[in-house]
Amino acid sequence: MGISSLGAGSNVLTQDVIDQLKKADEAQFVQPLTSKVSAEKSKSGKLDIVNALMDNLSESTGNVADVGLFNTRSATVTGSAVEVVANGGSDIQDFNITVNHLATKEIEQSGSFATADTSIATGDGQLKLSVGSKDFLVDYTSATSLTDLRNQINKDAKGTLQASIVEVAKDDFRLFLTAANTGTGQNVSITDVAGKGENLKDQLKADTDTTDGYTNVQTAQDASFTYNNLAITRTSNTVSDLLAGVTITLKEGTDANPSTSSVSVTQDVTGIEDKLDSFVSKFNSAIRELDTMTKASKDAKVRGIFSNDGTIKGMKNTVRTMLGTAGEGVGRLEDYGFASNRDGTISIDKSIFETKLKENPENVAAFFVGGDFTSNGSTKTLSGAFTEMKSKVDSYTNYNATLDQLKTSYTTQITSLEDRQQAATDRLTAKYAIMKKRFAAYDVMINKINSASDIFTQLANQNNNNN
C-alpha cells in the first residue's frame, strides 16, 4: 500500500499518521461519551416498557376498584317467552313470566288501485286521518296520486303512523297504514271531511258491506302476561317499569298457546372474575419484567439494565408487597383466594372467592372496592383493598409522578451527553484540521531539505569521480 503524503511528497508526515492520531483521541475523548449515550437511550427505551406495564397494572387495578363492579347483574333465562337485561344494582331474584299474547300495532289497508300513480279522488277535497286521539288533515285534488298521499301522510304523521304502498298483485296496489306504537288506543281511520268536496274514491272509504274501502289487517292490543302468576298488561312488548333496573322484552306467546320463561337475576360473578383474571395477568407481566430488568449479576449479559436503579427497584418492591399489606386490618386478599408464588407472581383460587361471595357479597364488595364491612357485630368503613393498591401504583404512573420524573431525568442526561459528545467531536475536528495544515507545511520543508541534500550528495559524488 502506498503512503498518502500531505505536502510535496516527503512521505514522512502523511494523512495516515493523522488518521491514526485522531482515532486514538476519539477512543479517549468521544467513544466513552458515545457509549454512555447508547446506555442511557437503552434505559430510556426500557423505561417506556416499564411505563406501559405499570399503566396496564393501574388500569386493571382500577377496573376491580370500580364501585360498580360488584353491582353488575346477570340474567339467565330458561324458555323463549322473554329476553331479560338486568342493570347494575337491580334486585337479585328469581321469577316466572308467562306471555299470553304480545302487544300489536293497528294496521289498515286500502282498496285496490291499478297503479301507485292512480289518483285517489275525483275532485278537490280534504280527508281526516285519525290515529287514536290524533287527527291529521290532508288536502287533495283529482291529481293527487296514491304515491302523493303516502308521502304526505309520512310527512304529516311522522312518528305516529307509517304509510307504505304494496303491490299485492298485478294491477293491484294498496296503501298500508301502520300505527307507530303498539297497544290499544291506536285505532286508525280515514274519513272524507264533509263540506270539503267529499270526492275520495271508494278504495279509501270504509265500507263494511264491500271490499272497496280500507279494511283492518291487524287490530291493536295490549300485551298480556303474568309475573309469578299475577296478571299484567302493557301497551308495549318492552317492559321496563315492572321491576327496578330490569328490562323484559316479550318475545312469543298466544292466548291459545301461552309461552313461559323462568328468569334468574344474579350477581355477575363471571364479569367480576374476568376483571380479577385481568389484574392477575397484568400484575404477573409487570413483576416478571421488573425482575428481569433489576436482576443483579456479575455477568453483564445476565445483569438487568436497572440493577443499580434504586427507583425501579423500590417500585418493584412496592408492587411485590402491596397485596400482602392491603386489607386495612379486617382481612387479607389471601382470605379471598389470592396467593403469592415463589417467583413473585400471584394466582387466584376462584372457588375460595366464590364461596366468600356467596357467604357475604356486601362484605366482599366492601373489602375489594370500599364500603361498610361488618364483622362480629361491628362495622368499619373501608376504602377498599384495590383502591388502596391502585393508589400505590398511581403514585408511580400519574402525570409528573415518579416514572415521569425518571423519564425526564434520562432525557436530560441524554441531551447533556450528546452535547458533550458533539463538543468533543468538534474539538477533534478543529484540532486535526489545524494539524493537517501544519503537517502539510512541515512536509514541504522536509522535502526541500531532502532535495538540497540530494544536490549536495550529487556534487560530492561528482567531485570524487573527477579526482
Tens digits of per-residue pLDDT, 224-247?
999 999 999 999 999 999 999 999
- Contact between 216 and 250 under an 8 Å Cβ cutoff? The reply is no
Alpha carbons 64 and 387: distance in angstroms, whole number: 8
Q: Looking at residue 458, what is its pLDDT?
A: 67
Tell me the percentage of the chain whose pLDDT exceeds 90.
Answer: 71
The pLDDT value given to residue 430:
86
User: What is the mean pLDDT of the segment spanning 108-112?
Assistant: 94
Task: Say if residue 439's pLDDT is above 80.
Answer: no
pLDDT at 1: 41
The pLDDT score that the predictor gives to residue 5 is 52
431 — pLDDT class (breaks 50, 70, 90): confident
Task: Tell the burial category of 358 from Cβ atoms under 10 Å away from its Cβ (0-12, 13-18, 19+).
Answer: exposed
Q: Is the predicted pLDDT of residue 451 greater than 80, yes or no?
A: no
* Residue 15, pLDDT score: 77
| 50 compared with 7, residue with greater pLDDT | 50
Which pLDDT belongs to residue 2? 43
pLDDT number for residue 3 = 44
pLDDT-based confidence at residue 394 (cuts at 50, 70, 90): very high
| Closest by Cα among 258, 255, 221 to 97 | 258
User: Domains of the chain: which residue ranges?
Assistant: 56-68+270-399, 73-103+222-267, 107-218
pLDDT digits (tens, 9 = 90+) for 19-63: 888 888 788 888 888 888 888 888 889 999 999 999 999 999 999
Phi, then psi, of 77 in degrees rounded to 5: -115, 130
Distance CA 223, CA 221 (A): 7
Mean pLDDT lowest among 164-168, 176-180, 452-456: 452-456
Assessment of whether the complete model's pTM goes beyond 0.75: no
DSSP 343: T
Whole-number pLDDT of residue 338? 96
Top mean pLDDT of 79-83, 309-313, 321-325 is at 79-83
Residue 366 pLDDT greater than 50, yes or no? yes
| DSSP output for 263-288 | EEEEE-HHHHHHHHHHHHHHHHHHHH
pLDDT, average across residues 436-446: 74
List Cβ neighbours of 346 (8 Å cut-off, separation of 6 or more).
Answer: 280, 283, 284, 323, 338, 339, 340
- Vertex 360: Cα angle to 359 and 366 (nearest 5): 150
Mean predicted confidence (pLDDT) in 85-114? 95
Dihedral, CA of residue 76, residue 103, residue 239 and residue 157, to nearest 10: 130
Looking at residue 454, its pLDDT comes to 62
**Residue 139: predicted pLDDT:** 96
Q: Note the pLDDT of residue 37.
A: 85
Instruction: Report pLDDT for 197.
Output: 92
The pLDDT score that the predictor gives to residue 21 is 83
pLDDT top residue among 4 and 267:
267
CA dist., res. 176 & res. 188, Å (int):
11
Contact at 8 Å (CB) between 290 and 316?
yes
Is pLDDT of 389 > 80?
yes
Quote the pLDDT of residue 26: 80
Cα first-last separation, the chain: 43
Neighbours of 239 (CB within 10 A): 22
pLDDT in tens, 246-293: 999 999 999 999 999 999 999 999 999 999 999 999 999 999 999 999
Mean pLDDT computed over 144-172: 96
Is the pLDDT reported for residue 67 higher than 50?
yes
Which position has the higher pLDDT, 69 or 461?
69
Average model confidence (pLDDT) across the chain: 90
